[in-house]
């Protein structure tokens, strides 16, 4: 069985060969943006980085093939990995993960989204490959974990996906967005599943396959976030914004950042987004208008997701990053803490 992180590891040798050249034809303009002020610790860390050329990190806990991380509205932090959905806990002995959901049918777990007291996530299976479009008939199952009583239910089968991955909620439509990371033929996108919660649990009421896709210039969506009426996503080496129009339908994608790499999951931070660069082992900060992009030195091992403001128990300016299979630095399979001074980004006090 090929895991998502196993496949992405092959991109290191020749990523351009697996990325359709048409994806690199779009142009975008970068506007001027005020520079973020360095804090005093940022000057010191920047000097250390200049000498070492490597991003410092602090390992917190081991998680096999760590994939996604999400902090919920009640402050709890959950992480998906190869074997389970975990909750991150901290006590006087340090950090530990507690498995809250397992399923032997799953090759790995991915994606996290909170909606109406349920935590949605992907149980990936990747079986029944179709030769015509290189999609899986049994790509996986979308599951939901009750944040009130711990119930675990299957809410829908995922068919016609290549790699179902990132998730986010579209609360005003009672919907979950599901990214399809289509590396092979660049016919992926974001699907929309609408749920009815009147029975006390989510029941699928409507579904649009690839609600966002090539028709919006999106081809292999990975991470996805909804923010202030727009949908933001990573699309191989691109970070894009898809505006929601007055009637609630998605408009054409706008490119905010691009690089010859594979960008993974991301999170809101201050007036922008912190993005994990899976292939190059670094973090990228992109303001909401796409200007004044900042890139950290390398040093992360297959970073797959980030929690930008973990809150209580963590210093301001510290972020949590999941490292997947250890492509770059031979470690991976863990959750690490990184100081944002490495990007020269000032500490953000506002809630994401």
Q: In this structure, what CATH number is given to the domain that contains residue 153?
A: 2.120.10.30
Residues contacting residue 260 through CB under 8 Å, at least 6 positions apart: 15, 16, 19, 237
Residue 304's Cβ-side half-sphere holds a number of Cα atoms within 13 Å equal to 34
348 found inside a domain? no
Residue 64's pLDDT is: 92
252 found inside a domain? yes
Residue 328's pLDDT is: 53
pTM of the model: 0.85
First to last CA, the chain: 37
351 found inside a domain? no
350 found inside a domain? no
| Whether residue 171 has pLDDT greater than 60 | yes
Number of domains in the chain: 1
Instruction: Report the b/e string of 299-333 with b at 16+ CB within 10 A.
Output: bbbbbbbbbbbbeeeeeebbbbbbbbbbbbbebbb
DSSP state of 74: T
Confidence of residue 337 (pLDDT cuts 50, 70, 90): very high
Tens digits of residue pLDDT in 286-328: 999 998 899 999 999 999 999 998 987 788 889 999 999 755 5
Residue 4's pLDDT is: 47
Q: What is the mean pLDDT of residues 33-51?
A: 34
What 3-state DSSP class applies to 190?
strand
352 found inside a domain? no
Find the domain containing 298 and state its range.
4-343
């Amino acid at each position: 069985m090929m895991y998502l992180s196993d496949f992405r590891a092959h991109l290191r040798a020749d990523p351009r060969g697996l990325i359709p050249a048409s994806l690199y034809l779009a142009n975008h303009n970068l506007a001027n943006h005020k520079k973020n002020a360095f804090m005093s610790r940022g000057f010191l860390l920047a000097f250390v980085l200049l000498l070492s050329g490597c991003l410092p990190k602090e390992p917190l806990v081991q998680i096999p093939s760590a994939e996604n991380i999400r902090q919920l509205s009640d402050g709890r932090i959950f992480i998906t990995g190869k074997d389970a959905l975990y909750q991150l806990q901290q006590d006087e002995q340090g950090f530990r993960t507690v498995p809250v959901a397992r399923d032997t049918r799953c090759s790995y777990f991915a994606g996290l989204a909170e909606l109406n007291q349920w935590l949605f996530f992907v149980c990936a299976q990747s079986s029944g490959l179709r030769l015509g479009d290189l999609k899986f008939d049994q790509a996986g199952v979308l599951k939901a974990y009750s944040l009130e009583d711990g119930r675990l239910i299957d809410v829908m089968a995922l068919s016609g996906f290549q790699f179902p991955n990132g998730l986010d909620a579209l609360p005003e439509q009672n919907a979950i967005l599901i990214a399809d990371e289509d590396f092979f033929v660049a016919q992926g996108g974001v699907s929309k599943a609408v749920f009815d919660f009147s029975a006390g649990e989510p029941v699928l009421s409507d579904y649009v396959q690839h609600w966002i896709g090539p028709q919006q210039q999106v081809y292999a969506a990975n991470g996805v976030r909804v923010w202030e009426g727009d949908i933001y996503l990573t699309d191989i080496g691109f970070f894009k914004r898809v505006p929601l129009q007055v009637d609630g339908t998605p408009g054409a994608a706008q490119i905010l950042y691009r690089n010859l790499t594979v960008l993974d999951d991301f999170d809101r931070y201050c007036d922008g987004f912190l993005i994990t660069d899976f292939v190059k082992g670094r973090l990228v900060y992109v303001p909401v208008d796409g200007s004044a992009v900042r890139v950290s030195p390398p040093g992360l091992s297959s970073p797959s997701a980030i929690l930008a403001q973990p809150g209580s128990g963590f210093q301001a300016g510290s972020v949590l990053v999941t490292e997947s299979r250890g492509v770059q630095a031979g470690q991976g399979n863990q959750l690490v803490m990184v100081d944002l001074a490495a990007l020269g980004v000032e500490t953000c006090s506002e809630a994401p």
